[in-house]
Amino acid sequence: MNTYQHYFKDKKVTVVRIGLLGRGVGDTAFMAELGAEVLVVDDASQEDMQPSVDALKEYDNVRFKFGPYDLNDFVDADMVLVGAGMPYEHAVLVAAKEAGVPLKQSAALFAELSGIPIIGVTGTRGKSTTTSMIHHVLSQATGEEVLLGGNIRGVSNLQLLKDVHEDSIAVMELDSWQLQGWGWADMSPQIAVFTNFMEDHLNYYQKDGESKEQGMERYFTDKAQIFLHQEESGVLITTPEVFERARTVAGSLGQEVVLADSSVLPEDCLLAMPGEHNRLNAALAYEALKATSLPDDIIFEGLASFPGVEGRLQYLREVDFVRYYNDNNATTPQATIAALTALDVGNKNIVLIAGGAYKAVNPAPLVEAIKKHCKQTILIPGTGTDRLLSELEKIRDTIPNLVVENLAQAFEEARLVAENGDIVLFSPGFASFGQYKNEYERNDEFVQLVSDI
């Protein structure tokens, strides 16, 4: 802890968007313990944010302000720690930057302060699974603690600094918002994995009056921070499709570039997780692990024992010859298509629970996948559901669909429909906002519903 005290002691730090997942709370507590004067600001109400307030009540050097942002809280600070989803063109952040106040995000700040080697993983889909695969194999191979951070549920990146030692290595899942912070710091991980790039988050990146491609370009620019600042000794591992787009952003790339597809895995490489997309995730993980000098036999042994990730095509249990899968983190139609393709072996025996909030990603391709793989769809409410329903009208005579009020009701209807040998798949295809505080709350509800059978 004392190693980092000089960086925080007596510094005025403004934390914006602390969130309710525990990450921002942990970051704030870490800085407070090292003597920073922390002001937490959020444009949400105190009522909404009270759990985070309560979690930090022991710190006299942490204050809170809720409601509209005050410019002075940003331009008079020594540092602003920016939470995920805060628009980087927001007036208060622009003013802070113009006043010379450093803007930081916790994943990049961890890398900056720790100085340890980092394997970073990003991509529209597959980043969580690939990150966890790499972490699992490294942990098994070394027998030592390998740090896991970034976009990990409940994990504060700054709290991870307490676990850093001379030989530490970290594996980090990095979403597009966290990668903004790496760009601000002109940094990239030593080993960068970029799984794929698809339509997503256009509700954030596509501005009024812009084309979809302009929004996609802005989204890719944030993602590209994972490799744009690599030194020549760095390694970028990605697919040919992502590489072509990367070259349009970066021009020439001086680091080592490794292109991968599922063919790099031998046919006898067994994985617990179904689906061709998961073989691609494993192939990318394999190349990243090779870059750390692990031998092939150790890598393949570790990949074979990897159990999977919660909320990502997660097998929960079988009851009365019906299998239940939790794919809560499928928040785009493309992710749900991948799940349907992975689970259906030609029996068309999937009862799909889907629906949620629209992220400006076209749901039309999902309709063909539903027609091909499902016996029925049961939909929970949301702006994305409304758009999907208009597309499902095209196949209403072949695939029944039912709209219900909530997930619990959807689950009960799915149980009534499912017969011997069927699969009940929760793969929403849309975001959770509107009905839930965050995607984890939705995940936990479905897991509990299955557990209670």
Do residues 252 and 116 both lie within one domain? yes
Task: State the pLDDT at residue 80.
Answer: 98
Domain membership flag for residue 291: yes
Alpha carbon distance 392, 333 (integer Å): 13
Domain membership flag for residue 150: yes
Amino acid at the residue 3:
T
Token look-up 């519903």 returns 449
Backbone dihedral region for residue 127 (phi beyond 0: left; psi -120 to 50: alpha; all else: beta): alpha
For residue 31, give the nearest of 73, 59, 69, 64 by alpha carbon. 59
Do residues 292 and 168 both lie within one domain? yes
Backbone dihedral region for residue 100 (phi beyond 0: left; psi -120 to 50: alpha; all else: beta): left
pTM of the model: 0.86
Q: Are 1 and 160 in contact (CB under 8 A)?
A: no
Do residues 163 and 275 both lie within one domain? yes
Do residues 256 and 130 both lie within one domain? yes
**Domain interval for residue 145:** 110-304
Q: Are 73 and 51 in contact (CB under 8 A)?
A: no
Do residues 120 and 247 both lie within one domain? yes
Task: State the pLDDT at residue 78.
Answer: 98
Do residues 100 and 241 both lie within one domain? no
Do residues 69 and 192 both lie within one domain? no
Q: Are 352 and 411 in contact (CB under 8 A)?
A: no
Q: Which two tokens stand for residue 437?
A: 């505080």
Amino acid at the residue 92:
V
Alpha carbon distance 103, 308 (integer Å): 35
Task: State the pLDDT at residue 358.
Answer: 92
Alpha carbon distance 214, 340 (integer Å): 30
Do residues 131 and 77 both lie within one domain? no
E strand or H helix at 321? none
Q: Are 391 and 304 in contact (CB under 8 A)?
A: no
Q: How many CA within 13 A on the CB side of residue 301?
A: 9
The low-confidence residues of the chain, meaning pLDDT below 70, are 1-2
Amino acid at the residue 357:
A
